[in-house]
Amino acid sequence: MNEIQPVQTTEIQRLVVDAIDYARQSRAPATLKAYQSDWSLFEKFCVSHGLGALPAESSTVALFITKLAETHRPSSIQRKLAAISVAHKTAGVPSPIAAEIVHSTMAGVRRAKGMSRTQKSPIRARHFREGLSLMRSDMKGVRDTAIILVSYAGALRRSEVTGLDLSDLTFSPEGVVLMLSRSKTDQEGSGVKVAIKAGNRADTCPVRALRNWISAAELSEGALFRPITRGGRLGMTRLSDQTVCAIFKEFALLLGLDPKDYGGHSGRAGVITDGFAASVAQAVIAKHSRHKSNAISDYLREATLFDQNLSGLVGL
């Protein structure tokens, strides 16, 4: 009896596997996770109504939009449409998103519900002077202080905070340089350097806070920010972005603010807002915050709401 020979992987098969893997890496892990969740929601909708999901009819997508509009903001619906489009393109079939019925349905939702974004409130420099003295003095307090100050000073997104390794830090007499190996505006992963200057005050200096954390945690390699157990033991895994959000909410609570208005974006929003309030040039702010769109102008409006305000100039 002839033995069955194992199938040998051909060069083409190997290249196909590699191509799929590269295509997957073209998007950030958080984006892929969000797309997978959105696609799962669309599939469940189609199954429950006896409709095809892949390929989907444009009328099916329009019905999905209408259903989502009952509970979701337009921006959230738009992301789910992106997930549907990516799923179709990946499968090699035409995307139904470009159809007129989808565009007109989405336009109607925007008109009816508006496109105002619910940004998290900024944690600003004055908050540090008011609240850092109220922080815990144990290892968790030292870590959280470093996260809050570095997030602010570096205009970091929460994914950038959690992605930092100790090897990404280079200290100098002027401060510290962070190497962001991958960020929202650097999807190719070439790396972005962010310089943080040492502060003028010991209690609000982000570089000092960072050194304090590294020393307290006795870090020598690996993830910079890590979980801490209830018993005060340092974990070995990387901190989650949900924990970063929780840290800012806890800090807001110390300040007597409503924690639901604050999150992992609050430090980044704070330094940009403070920059505009101090009349720092927009180009300087955008360079530091790595903005590549006009979205940064939203912070300018926030920082200057009461500057040359009409209601204050009419003699009330």
Known catalytic membership, residue 33: no
Cβ atoms of residues 246 and 266 within 8 Å: no
Known catalytic membership, residue 44: no
Q: Nearest to residue 116, comparing CAs of 70, 72, 74?
A: 74
Write down the catalytic residue from 73, 80, 120, 157: 157
Known catalytic membership, residue 49: no
Known catalytic membership, residue 299: yes
Write down the catalytic residue from 127, 143, 249, 268: 268
Residues in a beta bridge with 193: 179
Known catalytic membership, residue 157: yes
Detail the DSSP E strand segments found in the chain: 169-172, 175-180, 192-197
Terminal-residue alpha carbon distance, the chain: 101
Residues in a beta bridge with 197: 175
Known catalytic membership, residue 288: no
Q: Nearest to residue 183, comparing CAs of 212, 157, 144?
A: 157
Write down the catalytic residue from 27, 79, 110, 184: 184
Burial class (CB in 10 A: 0-12, 13-18, 19+), 82: middle
Please report, to the nearest 10 degrees, the dihedral formed by the alpha carbons of residues 208, 300, 246, 79 taken in order. -130
With b for 16 or more beta-carbon neighbours within 10 A and e for fewer, the 124-151 pattern comes to bbebbeebbeebeeeebbbbbbbbbbbb
Q: Which residues are catalytic?
A: 157, 184, 265, 268, 291, 299
